[in-house]
Amino acid sequence: MQTIKGTEPSMAWQLVHESVRSCVGNTPLVRLSRLFPQEGLEVYAKLEYMNPGGSMKDRPARHMIEQGLREGKIHAGSHIIESTSGNLGIALATMAKLYGLEVTCVVDPNIAPTNLRMLRQMGAHVEMVLEKDVNGGYLLTRIAKVHQLLERIPDSYWINQYANEYNWRAYYEGTGGEIVNALDRLDLLIAGVSTSGSIMGTSRRLREKFPHLKVVAVDAVGSSLFGATQGIRRLPGIGASRVPELLRREEIDQVVYVNDWESAMGCRALLHHEGIFAGGSSGSVIAAIQKLVPTWEKGVSIVTLLPDRGERYLDMVYDDAWVEALEEKGAVVS
């Protein structure tokens, strides 16, 4: 096992933060040696769910808003608009409190009820689109709604996480920087993908220190992000029905597909073996690693990201009836 450099825990406790802003980042890196005890295999998980908003999206939300402020595109009183039904909306609502901004999240009926309640509690405005688009989903209607709101609301600004360069840069400086400071050897980065901000930013920083690094993207069965046929996806988090502007396909070495059932099993294995209660996409990366383990030679060092907490998934991956319903439909191994 390699030496991991870290800060002295007693030092961390002495810090007093001016606001929740500076509590974003510096998430723990934990070796998953119970779940992956194989000789020579080192799997390190970055607990991104320990950010104050409960997900890694605190990083891009803070960076995209602060850069917007720096560049004069937004200021106190501006109105932030984004198409988001989950973690980014919650993170934007947090940062909006600190900078005196209004936030509107454009969502669709697939939003998890808990997320809808959280967004409202946090003071975000919610615009629900009800009409499906030509593809049978809501993506295009949500984007059309964003454009309508931009026209209607004065001093409004679209965050546009799929194309905003400060999305991936937040992970380049944050997640990637923290991992290179902690590890001396690394062969693989395995991460779930939706906007691709986290995998692009983290891998770019890691490759500066570990030039031979291989980057494995984990996508959901049913997502067309990497050109596969679109299908039913029940878990929020990874996957997309479009190709993000931020994605540079040539920087990804391999794509592994994981379905909802496999992700649920991955979540449960993480909880059972490591006591880590994480969200659906954390289960997806664990399932992907389990699929890949037999293909690796001895002596592989891996880092992965665990993007959000388990609580918001109690009615999904942690609900036996939800898992059994997938099993009845035969939606088991992909």
Ligand X SMILES: Cc1ncc(COP(=O)(O)O)c(C=O)c1O
Instruction: Mention every residue, 6+ apart, whose C-beta is less than 8 A from residue 287.
Output: 258, 262, 263, 265, 266
Residue 57 or 79: the one with the smaller Cβ distance to ligand X is: 57
Given candidates 237, 266, 283, 310, which one binds ligand X under the rule CB under 6 A? 237
**DSSP 3-state of 170:** helix
87 scored as a contact of ligand X (CB under 6 A)? yes
Given candidates 68, 176, 279, 283, which one binds ligand X under the rule CB under 6 A? 279
Query: Are the CB atoms for 216 and 292 separated by under 8 Å?
Result: yes
Query: Are the CB atoms for 27 and 53 separated by under 8 Å?
Result: no
Q: Mark 120-149 with x for binding to ligand X (rule: CB under 6 A) and - for no binding.
A: ------------------------------
- The helix (run of H) or strand (run of E) holding residue 215 is strand 214-220
Gap between the Cα atoms of 117 and 24, Å rounded: 23
Gap between the Cα atoms of 310 and 316, Å rounded: 10
Cβ of residue 232: shortest distance to ligand X, in angstroms?
Answer: 18
104 scored as a contact of ligand X (CB under 6 A)? no
Residue 96 or 267: the one with the smaller Cβ distance to ligand X is: 267
Q: Mark 192-231 with x for binding to ligand X (rule: CB under 6 A) and - for no binding.
A: xxxxxxxx--------------------------------
Residue 68 or 174: the one with the smaller Cβ distance to ligand X is: 174
Give the CA diameter of the chain: 60
53 scored as a contact of ligand X (CB under 6 A)? no
Q: What spatial distance separates the first Cα and last Cα of the chain, rounded to whole Å?
A: 33
111-134 burial code (b ≥16 CB/10 A, e <16):
bbeebbebbeebebbbbebeeebe
Cβ of residue 165: shortest distance to ligand X, in angstroms?
Answer: 13
Integer CA distances (angstroms), 30 to 34, 144, 311, in order: 11, 42, 20
85 scored as a contact of ligand X (CB under 6 A)? no
Residue 183 or 278: the one with the smaller Cβ distance to ligand X is: 278
Cβ of residue 225: shortest distance to ligand X, in angstroms?
Answer: 9
107 scored as a contact of ligand X (CB under 6 A)? no
Binding site for ligand X (CB under 6 A): 55, 86-87, 192-199, 237-238, 279, 281, 307-308
